[in-house]
């Protein structure tokens, strides 16, 4: 009865539009009032214990580094660099959009930031060159899913805190799936253009600089993810220290190389970082209460025992997991989805020989699809704000490219080498 109060309370509060953190906290309080009111005094301690982690330092620092790079003029330079990259294959704005998202994903660590930054430049540019606004917006939001998969990844930091998996291994596990999504989307774009006769509209966008200047500035942007990944993977720095290095690098590039970052920009940058970090941290804190309650009721162990006693094969357990992740992504954002699903499913997957790193890759790729799933997909909403188009129109335009994400999700799920090869090569897993 008490567990029914917990889950029904959370569902009702979420459907009523209550913020996720409040829904988690209030549902947990309702449960404790019904089952054991004496435990309510422990709630502040449980919230604080969820935030009292050295790993939490990395979260706002990665967000700050991304904000500094965005404000420092990196977005336009990434687009210019991407134009030169796709030129040998006679690419147009569609290919530029996908390649730019791949590069930008290695800087921001956030798909929503990717959709907002790339979309604000590419959607008007593609529309100006004859592409429909619907097509341009759909491609942008679908390509933005790479932002949280290609390392560094802010959601992977959150997952690492919950699962205990190595953040370096997780970053490496997302590299191949993220790049595969980009390559598959380029292939889908090629056939989509031929089918819809869009090749006649392909025109190059104007670029401001020559090849060498554009290439040099693009490589300066690429150094940042390599710096983060290299220092963590080879044990030079922890995730928090690596994030600090990324902030310092962003400041140097913005102030002294590109010279587009100004002292007057810093208050707004810090404000955005504070708001974004706080929204994530408060969800993490209150989700710890929810997780604590489920642990007391032994929900993860019960689910694990259910699958064991049913003797469900590994194939079907993984298929159930994939469907569940895609379903939950339609009404939960990435962070609460990670925090709710991870502690429940890890015991089950351990029984079937699936470790935390592969599961992390499955969760990250799966929840990235949810960012483009109506009605609450954050990337869909970012595209809606930029283009003004209805969310459903954007989703239908993005669907041909979103299928690429689902294909990669299935590969990551059933072919462990897709996510684990790079961590193993680097000796971390």
Query: What does the pLDDT look like over 158-188, one tens digit per residue?
Result: 899 888 888 889 999 999 999 999 999 999 9
In which residue are the tokens 């009865």 written? 1
User: Above pLDDT 90, what percent of the chain?
Assistant: 21
Q: Which residue has the higher pLDDT, 103 or 213?
A: 103
**pLDDT recorded at residue 1:** 58
Query: What is the arithmetic mean of pLDDT over 56-71?
Result: 82
Query: What is the arithmetic mean of pLDDT over 82-99?
Result: 73
CB 292 within 8 A of CB 29: no
Question: Measured between alpha carbons, how far is 69 from 390 in angstroms, rounded to an integer?
Answer: 30
List CB contacts of 232: < 8 A, sequence separation 6 or more: 167, 168, 171, 238, 239, 242
Question: Measured between alpha carbons, how far is 133 from 137 in angstroms, rounded to an integer?
Answer: 6
Q: Tens digits of per-residue pLDDT, 207-246? A: 455 566 666 777 777 777 777 777 877 778 877 888 888 8
What's this model's pTM, rounded to 2 decimal places?
Answer: 0.82
Residue 420 confidence (pLDDT) above 90: yes
Find, among 54, 106, 65, 64, the residue nearest to 229 by Cα: 106
C-alpha distance from residue 300 to each of 55, 109, 342, 348 (Å): 24, 30, 10, 8
Residue 136 confidence (pLDDT) above 50: yes
**pLDDT recorded at residue 365:** 95
CB 375 within 8 A of CB 107: no
Domain range annotation of the chain? 25-425
Question: Measured between alpha carbons, how far is 72 from 128 in angstroms, rounded to an integer?
Answer: 25
Question: Measured between alpha carbons, how far is 236 from 239 in angstroms, rounded to an integer?
Answer: 10
Q: Tens digits of per-residue pLDDT, 378-404? A: 888 888 888 889 989 999 999 999 999
Mean pLDDT of the chain: 82
Q: Angle at the Cα of 78 (from 239 to 125), degrees rounded to 5? A: 135
Per-residue tokens: 115: 């959709």
């Amino acid at each position: 009865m008490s567990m029914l109060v917990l889950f029904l309370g959370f569902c009702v509060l979420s459907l009523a539009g209550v913020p996720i953190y409040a829904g988690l906290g209030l549902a947990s309080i309702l449960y404790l009032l019904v089952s054991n009111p004496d435990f309510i005094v422990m709630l502040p301690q449980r919230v604080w214990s969820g935030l009292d982690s050295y790993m939490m330092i990395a979260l706002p620092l990665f967000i700050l580094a991304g904000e500094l790079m965005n404000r420092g003029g990196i977005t336009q330079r990434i687009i210019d660099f991407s134009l030169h990259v796709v030129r040998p294959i006679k690419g147009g704005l569609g290919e530029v959009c996908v390649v730019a998202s791949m590069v930008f994903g290695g800087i921001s660590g956030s798909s929503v930031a990717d959709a907002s930054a790339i979309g604000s430049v590419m959607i008007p540019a593609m529309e100006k060159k004859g592409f429909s606004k619907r097509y341009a917006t759909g491609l942008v939001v679908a390509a933005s899913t790479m932002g949280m998969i290609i390392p560094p990844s802010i959601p992977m930091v959150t997952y690492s805190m919950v699962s205990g998996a190595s953040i370096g291994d997780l970053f490496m596990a997302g590299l191949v799936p993220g790049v595969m999504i980009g390559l598959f989307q380029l292939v889908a774009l090629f056939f989509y253009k031929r089918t819809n006769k869009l090749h006649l509209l392909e025109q190059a966008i104007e670029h401001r600089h020559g090849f060498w200047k554009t290439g040099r500035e693009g490589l300066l942007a690429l150094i940042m993810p390599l710096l983060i990944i290299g220092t963590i993977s080879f044990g030079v720095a922890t995730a928090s220290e690596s994030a600090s290095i990324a902030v310092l690098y962003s400041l140097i590039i913005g102030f002294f190389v590109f010279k587009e970052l100004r002292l007057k920009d810093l208050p707004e940058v810090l404000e955005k970082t504070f708001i974004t970090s706080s929204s994530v941290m408060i969800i993490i804190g209150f989700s710890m209460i929810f997780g604590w309650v489920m642990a007391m009721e032994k929900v993860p162990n019960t689910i694990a025992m259910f699958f064991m006693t049913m003797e469900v094969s590994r194939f079907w357990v993984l298929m159930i997991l994939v469907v569940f992740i895609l379903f939950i992504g339609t009404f939960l954002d990435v962070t609460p989805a990670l925090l709710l699903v991870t502690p429940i499913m890890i015991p089950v997957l351990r029984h079937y020989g699936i470790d935390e790193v592969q599961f992390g890759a499955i969760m990250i790729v799966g929840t990235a699809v949810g960012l483009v799933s109506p009605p609450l997909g954050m990337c869909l909403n970012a595209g809606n704000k930029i283009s003004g188009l209805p969310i459903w129109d954007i989703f239908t335009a993005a669907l041909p490219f979103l299928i690429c994400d689902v294909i990669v999700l299935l590969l990551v799920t059933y072919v462990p080498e897709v996510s684990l090869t790079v961590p193993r090569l680097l000796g971390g897993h």
